[in-house]
Amino acid sequence: MSTKQQFVVNKAGRRVPTVVNGREQIPYQGVAVYAPKGVKHGPAIRSCNEYPEDGDKRVRDIKTALEKCGLRDGMVISTHHHLRNGDRVAVTALQAAAELGAKDLVWFPSASFPCHEPVIGLMQQGAVHHIEGSMNGPLGEFCSRGQMRGLGVLRSHGGRWQAIQDGEVKIDIAVIAAPTADPFGNADGSHGPSACGSLGFALADSMYAERVIVVTDNLVPFPCIPWQIQGNNVDCVVEVDSIGDPSQIVSGTTQVTRSPDRLLIAEYVARFIRDAGIMREGFSFQAGAGGIALAFVDHLKDMMKSAGIRARFVRGGSTRYLVDLLHDGLTDYILDGQTFDLTGVESIGSEPRHVATSPFTSYNFHGKGNFASMVDAVVLGATEVDLSFNANVVTHSDGLLLHGIGGWQNCLSAGCTILALPSFRDRIPVVVEEVTTISGPGELIDVVVCERGVAVNPRRKDLLAALRHSDLPLRTISNIKDEVEAILGGKPRRPTLTDRPVAVVKWVDGTLLDTVWQTPL
């Protein structure tokens, strides 16, 4: 990185660097303005002659696989987060690369979790240069304090696919953890002792990386059915004792929140969807696995039953709550992005109407359309939302990196985007004057539902009209913000951040939406 960083102010009014990790950047230009041209990136041509005719691509261990894939300094190594906080593969692969003497690697995870903390050591010793992917917990703190060499690049799930297709990120070696695989490299996530459901996050990497390694702890003879990852894209297969800790991969059961305030928010969300006329025969919605989202599904389910209304499809984050909808005949399909509990895993492995999706089908900016914009309503969370309905999911209000973007940005294109959140947490304001970091532009956020009321974005006159007869507590966002400040004892002081960027937030189209600044120690 050059020592002198240049900045421009983008269309969201945020100061963003012109160059990130040596690559020139395009500042955010507004929603649906930027239209890139050109040809999609592709990996080098390979031929079947280079691979064993018997289809057996097994090698002894990850080190051997990395060597075989031509590991060199500065390479981009990708891994995936479908094993969530139980993942053992990413750290093992990066450590193996370090032991082979590789330096300045770029780690390109689809998301990182607290279990990936050992990567800090690899960054300190120089094996890993920086991370392009979500950072939270210890990694988030490390980056936020300015201890990482390059800039963190935060992308949505769809934005990750877009960056791969753009060629902005050229993956040298993809390491795919597979709950089940065969020696040819066909891989599946819905079966095996470490079953996690869908492997959708690894799909782009399998198609666009120069080299692909599949790592499994459940090797089956060819063919592995179903194959979510096609062995035809795979270079090597490595068998290991364990790819992860099943107890951290999926929850045994997901529980609805017991917090009365969050239950109230969930009830408001369900009533909003009903009263705004979104709940009608054949509608669709997306819900995550957060406490409020689960509870909202429970409420909506009752309303759908009593109104005799069925959904055509629901999207998740699947849990037993969505599976119940399927079994009760309240939805025709579950289109599943990732699977959060055992009921979800069992269902995706056995129920034909519970279908695995990928960021390509769901979110990709360079697709010829995607599912996210076809969903009628999506319920999301955020750490902050402001008077312009801009929202923040990546940093704490104090500026520290907290969360990845996940599919959050992509979901904003739904017919109605609902942010369901408490208006404050203890004494930390959530509804604020101006968000610390913009993760999503307010023009795409239609409703804020909190325990103190429901604020509809004034742009959505149609929703306001539809809610004319609703007995929901409708309020303006500034009215809620004022109440929050009165409760918390005045306007919060803004965090003091340095002028040094530590990470950038990409918009779904690859432009730069905002900058995360260093938090002083």
Partner 1 sequence: MAKNKQESTSAPVSPAKGEAGRCGDDVRSDLFVGVEIGTTGGLKIDLSSRVSTFYGDSIEKTVVNILGAFAVKHARVEIDDKGALPFVIAARLEAALRRAGRRGDGRPKRNIPQGESSARDRLRRSRLYLPGNEPKFMINAGIHRPDGLILDLEDSVHNQEKDAARILVRNALRCVDFLGAERMVRINQLPLGLEDLDEIVPEAPEMILIPKVEDGEQVRVVHDRIRNLQTDGSKDGHVIWLMPIIESALGVENAFQIASATKTVAALTIGLEDYTADLGVRKTAEGSESLFARMRLVNAARAAGVQAIDSVFGDVGDVQGLRAWAARARSLGFEGMGCIHPRQIVPIHEAFAPSPLEIEKALAIVDAFEKAQSKGLGVVSLGTRMIDPPVVLRAQRLVELARRSDLLPQGNKFTNNAAVNPSRDDAQ
Q: Which residues bind partner 1 (CB under 8 A)?
A: 260-261, 263-264, 397-398, 425-429, 451-452, 471, 486-490, 492-493, 495
User: Which uninterrupted H or E stretch holds 177?
Assistant: strand 173-178
> What per-residue string of b and e applies to 176-196 under the rule 16 or more CB within 10 Å gives b?
bbbbbbbbbbbbbbbbbebbb
Distances (CA, A) of 42 to 172, 188, 236: 12, 24, 19
User: What is the closest distance, in whole angstroms, from the C-beta atom of residue 86 to partner 1 in the complex?
Assistant: 24
Between 8 and 465, CB nearer to partner 1: 465
Contacts of 98 (CB under 8 A, 6+ apart): 122, 125, 127, 128
- Least gap, CB of 148 to partner 1 (angstroms): 22
Q: How far apart are CA 262 and CA 454, in angstroms?
A: 14
Residue 261 vs 351, nearer CB to partner 1: 261
Find the shortest distance in angstroms from Cβ 424 to partner 1. 9
- Give the shortest CB-29-to-partner 1 separation in angstroms: 32
Q: Which amino acid is at 372?
A: A
Shortest separation between residue 517's beta carbon and partner 1, angstroms: 14
Judged by CB, which is closer to partner 1: 98, or 488?
A: 488
User: In whole angstroms, what is the distance from residue 368 CA to residue 365 CA?
Assistant: 8
Nearest CA to 340 among 244, 251, 255, 405? 251
Nearest residue (CB) to partner 1, 234 versus 431: 431
In angstroms, the Cα distances linking 145 to 122, 131, 256, 387 are: 17, 14, 35, 28
CB of 306 to partner 1, least distance (A): 15
Please give the backbone phi and psi of residue 272, each rounded to the nearest 5 degrees, phi first: -60, -45
**Cα 179 from chain centroid (whole Å):** 20
Cβ of residue 321: shortest distance to partner 1, in angstroms? Answer: 18
Q: What is the 3-state secondary structure (H, E, C) of 215-255?
A: EECCECCCCCCCCCECHHHCCEEEECCCCECHHHHCECCCC
Task: Find tokens 């970091």 and name the residue.
Answer: 437
Which CB, 24 or 426, lies closer to partner 1?
426
In the structure encoding, which two tokens stand for residue 394, read together?
């990546």
Q: What does the block give as tokens for 43?
A: 């990996």
Q: Is the dihedral of CA 275, 278, 282, 288 positive or negative?
A: negative
Dihedrals phi, psi of 517, to nearest 5 degrees: -95, 155
- The answer to whether the peptide bond before residue 226 is cis (omega within 30 degrees of 0) is yes
Decide whether 119 or 294 has the Cβ nearer to partner 1. Answer: 294
β-sheet with 331-339: strand ranges across: 354-356, 331-339, 311-318, 283-287, 377-380, 416-420, 447-450, 453-456
Nearer to partner 1, 54 or 426 (CB): 426
Query: How far is 209 from 172, CA to CA, in rounded Å?
Result: 6
Find the shortest distance in angstroms from Cβ 493 to partner 1. Answer: 5
The least distance separating partner 1 from the CB of residue 455, rounded to whole angstroms, comes to 15
Closer by beta carbon to partner 1, 163 or else 447:
447
Contacts of 192 by beta carbon, 8 Å cutoff, 6+ apart:
179, 180, 216, 217, 218
Nearer to partner 1, 61 or 398 (CB): 398
Dihedral of CA 509/381/414/158: which sign? positive
CB of 137 to partner 1, least distance (A): 16
- Output the smallest distance, CB 334 to partner 1, in A: 28
User: Are 78 and 209 in contact, with CB atoms under 8 Å apart?
Assistant: yes
**Minimum distance between the CB of residue 281 and partner 1, rounded to whole angstroms?**
27
**E strands in 377-490:** 377-380, 384-386, 391-392, 416-420, 424-425, 428-429, 431-432, 447-450, 453-456
Least separation, in Å, of the C-beta of 342 and partner 1? 22
Q: Angle at which helices 260-275 and 291-307 pack, to 10 degrees? A: 40
